[in-house]
Structure 1
Amino acid sequence: MIRSSVLPALLVLSVAPAALAQPPGEPAPAAPAEETPAKPAEEAAPKPEEAAQSAPADEKSGPPAPPPSPLEISVVGTRVQQTSGSAHVVTPKQLQRFKHDDPHKVFLSVPGVYIRGEDGFGLRPNIGIRGALSDRSKKITLMEDGVLFGPAPYSAPAAYYFPLIGRMDSVRVVKGPSAVSFGPHTIGGAIDLITAAIPSERRGMIDLSTGQFMHRKLHFRQALADDNYGVLVEVAHLGTDGFKELDGGGNTGFSRTELMLKGRYVFDPTAKVVNELEIKAGYGGEDSNETYLGLTDEDFRENPYRRYGASRLDHMEWNRTQLQLTHRARFGRKLDITTTLYRHDLHRIWRKVNGFRGAAISSVLANPEDPRAAVFYGVLTGQIAPSTPEETLLIGPNDRKFVSQGLQSTISYRPRTGPVRHRIEYGVRIHYDSIRRLHTQDGFLVEGNELVPEERFTQTTADNDASTWALSMHASDAATWGPLTVTVGARMESIRSEMDDRFEGTQTITVQQVIVPGAGVFVALPRDLGLFAGVHQGFSPVPPGQTVPVRPEKSVNYEAGMRWSPRRFRAEIIGFYNDYKNLTNICTFSTGCVEENLDQQSDGGAARVLGVEAYAESELKVRENLAIPGRFSYTFTDARFSTDFQSADPIFGNVRAGDELPYVPRHQLSASVGVEMPRWGANLSGTYVSAMRESAGQGEPAPGTATDAYFLLDASVNVRVLRWLSVYGLGRNLLDDAYIASRRPYGARPGAPRWLMIGAKADF
């Protein structure tokens, strides 16, 4: 529990470097990163050489300063050129160039971010940052408009829900010391998805596309606004019949729909204190024929897009509602207070193949030549009729209900003490989330491509409730004196979790409290060069319901680099080192865990992750009306355990010191280049990811224990037919590279094949 005597000190000590400000030239976001109000472009700090000659904008009267170039974004009130940590923004223009519907494709363009493919669509992304395990993105902080969007970020951090990336206006990734502002997970970093802001005028658009595999997409947005009020309505629908070929025929695709309504009211835009209220309501739903069942390596080589008929009944359905109320108060140009009240509800039912009564499917698919496994493989593929109860296939729904709600507030203050300019932030969040699990399964007999009910009793495998109350506070000060910017602070998390397991007849309570510090420094050099370095503590809490004593995940993370940022160009190179005191993983079905280990944490002890990130981005104007945009990112990572241990989590297994971490690629590269004119544009993108281990190990991976290295080539072309109408064409995986994207949880699973689409977008 929290001691009252500790709270006042924590209010002063806790930190959070703030959110990234919206790139100018694009609509400003409704809310930035967690607990942090947006910074208008005119409030971003001037370059160091400018600061030495004049007072900052927030102390001047008169009109705001002109907006910076599209590549100038800000962190903790300082432009990215001056920030002491790593920060990247995928801008609206960059998102529109390729119109990716798979969020994995978007994050692969950001250095230091790794993904593990699963279904080829990115329905439930697996994202890791700087060595943090990628399974269900549970080791990073995920936000939409600054609010945690995971179904239950503390009680069940596995992100089985992810918003449609196609309706986002921009994407922000924060790493390094700045990550301590975004809790509860500060190990790798934070991701904030920014939805469309309410514009200051009447504006709308509709985007329609179709393509192979019965791809269909609709994106509609309409806004009405004046100086006092604004309303925005958005509808996004995405669907396909799927690219996998189910034995015996059938749909292997999905259908998703998301609705959003925003309303804004400004009481008096000319008042000394400007008060604004904004309400955001949303609904989302998915109906997908998705499975965890993959293939043997031999079947994958014959047809990588085959799907066994045993997965015919696999089906996911979920519905989600969200409601947020935000109040913003602006006291002149030095002080802002932003407060948000939020609630999200998610109900999902996933009916899927869980295994045989007498064998694990992962073992069967990994060794189909083994005499015993061969029988189960024959039953699984419909070649052999089941003859014993052990050969019965167990299929059942995992029924889960989630609640996530809370109240968060941030104060941003920009004073000056002598020659030193400060960007100070204080924030607090009170959060509650819960999960209700009811897992059942029934037996089915595989007869050819049909599944026949065994007609025995329904087995209940899990029946529990978990909930968490969490109080988090943060504070930070980014102080600039001439060419020097120093950012310091810390974050506090106080967490009380409870698990009521009706299936086992047990109750457990977990209490955690931690202060997470961080600091960084930036030194501006002549000719737009800068040096920066930082250190922060990584933390990831223990989830509720642990049956054995475990420790939180903790690390000390270091980074240092150089940045060059002349106008319309940004390049940087960063070295990072994460020293894990205790690397952990939480067992999930997606990693192949059995029911009795579900949501149990495994401690991996000491580990170290080191690497180098290189990044360059430009909007080169060759001449008037001709631009050549380019983007390049490369990440080298070496991630290894430092201790020996044994784990029931199959993604770890029996580990020896020196073993490489699973699903962390050694090399990852992404590059894009384009030609853009007022009437047309074309862009080409290439992505390379080296092979990844599917469990810890050393040396050359044994056959069947790693993913494939792959190279994906994507392209887009658009033509403006009328002032308000554009048509476009998209090509994914143009070289039609068939590769194993994952082996979790059951067998080899492919990435998406070549995929061609055409569409039209109207602006009005």
Structure 2
Amino acid sequence: MGGTALSRTAGSAQVIKKDQLERFEYDDPAATLMQVPGVYVRGEDGVGLRPNLGIRGANPDRSKKLTLMEDGILFGPAPYSAPAAYYFPLVTRMTQMRVIKGPGAIAYGPQTVGGAVDFISRPVPTRTSGAADLAAGQYGYNKVHAWFGSGDDRLGFLVEGVRIQNTGFAELPNGADTGSTRNDWMVKAAYTIDPDAKTKHRLQLKLAYADEVSNETYLGQTDADFRTNPYRRYAASALDQMKNHRTGIVATHTIEGPESSYQLKTSAYRFDYQRTWNKLNRLGGAGAATVLANADDPGYAGYYGVMTGRIDSSGNGADTLYVGPNNRSFVSQGIQSVLSTQTKTGPLEHKLETGIRFHYDHIKRLHTESGYLMQGGQLVPSGEAPLTTSDNFAGTHAVALHMTDAMTWRNLTITPGARVELINSRTEDYQTKENKDALVAAVMPGIGAYYALLPSLGVLAGAYRGFSPPAPGSDSSVKPEYSVNYEAGARYTRGSSRAELIGFYNDYSNLTDVCTLASGCVSTNLDRQFDAGKARIYGLEAFVAHEQRVGAFRVPVSAAYTLTYGEFLNDFTSQDPIYGVVRKGDELPYIPLNQLNVTLAVEHRRAGINGAFNYVAPMREQAGNVAIERAVATDEQVWLDLGGYVNVSRWLRVYTNLRNAFGAENIVGRRPYGARVNAPRWLQVGLKFQF
């Protein structure tokens, strides 16, 4: 918080550094973030196209309860108006990832209940340098990643591009490609007006472009089919495909005072994101999720047969398959300034941070459906006119302010702070001609403390108010999500060694969820907020990292463990399938009781090997207080990733990675329609050139 050194931060924070990112060469942000305690993942596509991430029990659906940033700038398509994160930057382009939890979360927003994740991209180099990473593997996998830049103390530039593709591991009856192709480009230019001036002015321009074509679906399987062949895809999903592209521009001006006494960083940004996801939405007479959950019921067996392609559609409309190109366009833009200063008042040392952000974003939805008949295992148009299911707009203007002051006296650092969010939103439904406006003002105070018992050992504690904005246009009866979050623990830091043990308790006065298709909501409830009332989530996070030198070898090891409980504190019934019928004392869904990540590497200047072991306990998919039932829970997940490299020369490295070495085949989720599987055992081999 507030620019304090990580070892003395009055709150939870973890940094995944460049060497850790390069050690495993993950393409999936979720796999990378498993190294951080308190971060949960709900699996879906197996390759991390649209990760479902949660922190400290926050709902992981489309990562919508997290504040997601790249270089300190919100990167979600519409963080206020539609916070579901359908876009994520490619991890391989990053040099660092930061996770902020506890009181430090109030410096970021709008989502402060769980925490924030900041992806740090490659800086402009100060000398001529570059690299290329070429990889190939099973399932048609290939990666081309290259960057080149040059600079000095005045002027510099960087060009970087990544292309990752695969042909998919899921199996359609017609043998079609089920994979994806992603491109991610970035250009940076930096200029320092006078490098020798006491007060320095730096200008930076960042341009970005990304696109994706993925033959991805929301349709899973029945549990019985999954246990027979977890990689099977039903014929009804043969036309499913996501296409999206994103453009971005960020212009930054930084003023740095003499001897770094202060820094004022101002960034103006705009991102445009367009996506069209053509996918199976429903059948004429039944929902896909209902069919798969009751496939053995005579009333649904016919629908199930049509979905698998085993039975032809009757043509009576009930078993017509409705496939919809859900078209959405987004804009996210704004300007933000952050002032960081260091000063003294008597015996107190202050590190102050003050920030303000003016932000606007919107989403435009045009969802249509066309009917298809299953004929001979193929989808053919039914001939009926397309149906428009959603045609609307949601926009938000927001002003956010925050201030923190890390005050240090001898061994004690106390960091009070506060965040204010002023949110004005509007929705327009072009079908019903109904318009709604809403205004929300929220104040989030917080305080954290760290006391150094020894130079390397200290205790910490903190409390703050968590906040998640209501859906745009909500009337006054719809309340934001509020919580009071507490944490306390101890931290040891010495050289390359670090250990933390932190307990947390999140007391929700109003737990909420905004309905999405990804969670199984029907189109009439899309982006509608549902309240769950009071709840509490509490647990324990443990983290240890150490690097041992053994002769010419480095042996880095780390372990991250999370214990979490969560329960509702009142009865209610919700149309949101994430909740459903809930009784007081029921446990929250999608929170694993235990989660563990252990990484170990043995590295030499000429070669190295590494491994990452992961364990995730079964997660409820429905609220309940009886023993977890396999039919309504994810599987217990255990998997091992292995890797190794050989430095052929100073500029050439050969590496290999074996994902999921055990070949685990687990149900990682059933949202929205049926059982989904993790990625299979997957071998990848690559070459890295650098200069």
What range describes the TM-score normalised by the shorter chain of this pair?
over 0.9
**TM alignment of 1:626-705, pairs within 5 A:** 626-705=553-632
Q: Check the 8 A contact 1:732/1:756 in 2, yes or no.
A: yes
What is the rounded CA distance, in whole Å, between the counterparts of 1:702 and 1:275 in structure 2? 60
Q: Is the 8 A contact 2:617 2:635 kept in 1?
A: yes
Aligned-partner Cα distance in 2 for 1:590–1:401: 17
What SS is found at the alignment partner of 2:301? Answer: helix
| Corresponding residue for residue 352 of structure 1 | 279
Could you tell me whether the CA contact under 8 Å between 2:392 and 2:430 is conserved in 1?
A: yes
- Structure 1 residue 548: deviation in Å? 8.6
Matches within 5 A, 1:10-409: 17=1, 76-332=2-258, 333-387=260-314, 388-409=316-337
Q: Deviations over 1:563-587 (max 9, x none)?
A: 1111110001000000000000111
SS in 1 for 2:318: helix
Tell me the CA shift for residue 448 of structure 1.
Answer: 3.1
CA offsets 1:56-90 (integer angstroms, 9 cap, x no match): xxxxxxxxxxxxxxxxxxxx222122111000001
Return the letter of the residue paired with 1:533: A
The residue number in structure 1 matching 2:472 is 544
Residue 449 of structure 1, CA deviation: 2.2
Q: How much does 1:701 deviate?
A: 2.9
Report if aligned partners of 1:366, 1:704 keep a CA contact under 8 Å in 2.
no
Alpha-carbon deviation of 1:182?
Answer: 0.4
Question: If the length of structure 2 is used for normalisation, what is the TM-score?
Answer: 0.99
Deviation at 1:549, TM superposition (A): 3.2
Q: Which residue of 1 aligns with 2:488?
A: 560
- Identity between Structure 1 and Structure 2 (%): 49
Deviations 1:261-318 (A, max 9, x none): 0000001111121000000001000000000000001110110000001100000000
Q: Secondary structure at the match of 2:385?
A: coil
Work out the CA distance in 2 between the residues paired with 1:547 and 1:372. Answer: 40
CA distance in 2, matches of 1:96, 1:418: 45
State the distance in 1 between where 2:68 and 2:410 align.
35
SS in 2 for 1:183: coil
Residue 266 of structure 2 aligns with an amino acid whose one-letter code is T
Is the aligned partner of 1:582 residue 2:510? yes
Residue 55 of structure 2 aligns with an amino acid whose one-letter code is I
**Partners of 1:254 and 1:289 within 8 A in 2:** yes
Distance 2:359 2:204 in 1: 20
Q: 1:527, CA displacement in angstroms?
A: 5.4
Runs of 5+ unmatched residues, structure 1: 1-16, 18-75
Please give the per-residue CA displacement for 1:121-156, whole angstroms capped at 9, x wherever unaligned: 110010000011000000110000000000000000
Alignment-mate amino acid for residue 515 of structure 2: C
Corresponding residue SS for 2:619: coil
CA contact (8 A) 1:547 1:600 kept: no
Amino acid at match of 2:649: L
Do structure 1's residue 459 and structure 2's residue 417 form an aligned pair?
no
Count of aligned positions: 689
CA distance in 2, matches of 1:166, 1:371: 49
Partner of 1:33: none
Which residue does the alignment assign to 2:419?
491
Counterpart of 1:43 in structure 2 is none
In structure 2, which of residues 316, 324, 343 is the aligned counterpart of residue 415 of structure 1?
343
Contact 2:438 2:475 in 1 (8 A): no
Which protein is richer in strand relative to its size? 2
| Displacement after TM superposition at 1:547 (Å) | 7.0
How far apart in 2 are the matches of 1:149 and 1:90?
A: 19
CA distance in 1, matches of 2:286, 2:121: 46
Q: Which amino acid letter does the alignment assign opposite residue 230 of structure 1?
A: G
Letter aligned with residue 416 of structure 1: K
| 1:517 matches 2:445 | yes
User: Residue type matched to 2:150 in 1?
Assistant: L
TM-score computed with the length of structure 1 as normaliser? 0.89
Q: 2:647 aligns with which of 705, 712, 720?
A: 720
C-alpha distance in structure 1 between counterparts of 2:280 and 2:25, whole Å: 33
Helix, strand or coil at the partner of 2:632: coil
> What residue identity is the alignment partner of 2:439?
V
Query: Residues 381 and 448 of structure 1 are in contact (CA less than 8 Å); yes or no, is this contact kept in structure 2?
Result: no
Q: Is the 8 A contact 2:566 2:588 kept in 1?
A: yes
What is the identity, as a one-letter code, of the residue corresponding to 1:221?
W
In structure 2, which of residues 520, 523, 528 is the aligned counterpart of residue 592 of structure 1?
520
Taking the aligned partners of 1:257 and 1:324, their CA distance within structure 2 comes to: 19
The corresponding residue for 1:46 is none
Instruction: Write the letter of the residue equivalent to 2:530.
Output: S
**Distance in 2, Cα, partners of 1:165 & 1:723:** 24
Matched position secondary structure for 1:663 = coil
User: Aligned equivalents of 2:685 and 2:18: distance in 1?
Assistant: 20
Q: Which residue of 2 aligns with 1:607?
A: 535
Comparing 727-736 with 536-545, which one deviates more in the overlay?
536-545
For the residue of structure 1 that corresponds to 2:45, the secondary structure is coil
For 1:634 and 1:558, locate their aligned partners in 2 and report how far apart those are by CA, in whole Å.
Answer: 19
How many Å separate the matches in 2 of 1:258 and 1:165?
A: 10
Is 1:468–2:396 an aligned residue pair?
yes
Post-superposition CA distance 1:190-244 (Å, at most 9, x none)? 0000000011111100000000001000110100101110000000010000001
Residues 575-584 or 370-379, more deviating: 370-379
What SS does structure 1 have at the residue aligned with 2:8?
A: coil
What do you get for the CA RMSD once the two structures are aligned? 0.9
SS at match of 1:605: strand
Q: Does the residue aligned with 2:125 lie in a helix, a strand or coil?
A: coil
Distance 2:672 2:577 in 1: 9
User: What SS class does the counterpart of residue 380 from structure 1 fall into?
Assistant: helix
Which residue of 2 is the match for residue 749 of structure 1? 676
Shift in Å, 1:526: 2.0
One-letter amino acid of the structure 2 residue matched with residue 610 of structure 1: Y
SS at match of 2:586: coil
DSSP 3-state at the match of 1:81: helix
SS in structure 1 at match of 2:621: coil
Match of 2:667 among 722, 736, 740: 740
Amino acid at match of 1:642: L
What is the CA–CA distance in structure 2 between the aligned matches of 1:740 and 1:230, rounded to whole Å?
A: 48
- 1:66 maps to what in 2? none
Say whether the 8 Å CA contact 2:437–2:474 is kept in structure 1: no
1:415 maps to amino acid: T
Q: Which consecutive residues of structure 2, in runs of 5 or more, have no partner in the other structure?
A: none
CA positional deviation for 1:354: 0.1
Q: Distance in 1 between matches of 2:579 and 2:376?
A: 35
